[in-house]
Amino acid sequence: MVGICRFSYPALGGFQVVHETPDQRAEFLYAKERLDERFRLFEGFTLPSLRAQTDQDFTFLIVIGDDFPPERLEQLQALTADMPQVVIQAHPPGRHRTVMAEALNSIRRRDRLCIQFRHDDDDAVAVHFVARLRRTVRQCFPLLLSSHVMAIDYTRGFNASGGPDGIAAQPVQRLFLGVAFAVVVRPDTELTVMNFTHFDIWKHMPTITRKDPNMWVRGANDFNDSGEALARDLAPLTPEQEAMFQRRFGINADRVRAIWRR
């Protein structure tokens, strides 16, 4: 199982915000204010949910640009130093889907099925996400007998933001958002989760949608690439909901407050 995270990688394509050149894109992506927020969300939301996985048998591939600021690379390495699952690869600017697919294929095992999930640097998944994925693949394995690939999507979670006062969130149920979303590929194909637009995945392969509750947290922040108003209708978590976020996602509200107050 391999998860892939595009961490401010200056791709050609792959963003809804348009820039004329890779240099202009890198200038936008590496701006201090933006990277400060990405690192807060990565530290407060993303990494705790991965550290807390009940099934630790996965690889988490982080793709950065080869011009990623050195001090920020040190920060990224320090934050993930205790996670043996993490692999960091630096790539020059290139076509988004091509670079990500090549990165995935460079580390996957070629003698077995590969479960691949995409993961943004401001999102989180339930602590049993990896285990549930494996179970779902076993339950639905016959679908792979007639298709090289199949998709698995968990449809229920939260939009959420972090801040000095803690976490605000809103429950959401949506299809194919790209978080808590995976593609299973057979050994005899070079296709990857990054070869497909997640919203349109149902056009290309069999899909399994699961309504398991509270499977993901989608980070809402000032630099969301999505055009959706993710921060709409967010409400501060109650103490009971904070306890649920800790149990379900490994996200600690007091730790979030401390990160944003630094």
List of residues 6+ apart from 135 with CB closer than 8 A: none
pLDDT at 8: 93
pLDDT at 233: 86
In this structure, of 12-16, 137-141, 186-190, 201-205, the range with the lowest mean pLDDT score is 12-16
Helix axes 22-29, 32-41, angle to 10 degrees: 60
Asked whether the beta carbons of 117 and 173 are under 8 A apart, the reply is no
Give residue-wise pLDDT tens across range 82-99: 999 999 999 999 998 999
**pLDDT, mean over the chain:** 92
Q: What mean pLDDT comes out for the span 28-48?
A: 96
Domain span at 81: 2-261
Residue 171 clears pLDDT 70, i.e. is over it? yes
Q: Note if the pTM is more than 0.85.
A: yes
DSSP 8-state class, residue 75: H
Domain CATH number, residue 212? 3.90.550
CA distance 57 to 185: 17
Distances (CA, A) of 15 to 28, 42, 111, 129, 192: 12, 19, 33, 26, 19
What is the number of structural domains in the chain?
1
Please list the helix, strand and coil fractions of the chain in percent, rounded to the nearest 5, in that order. Answer: 35, 25, 40
Helix axes 70-80, 32-41, angle to 10 degrees: 10
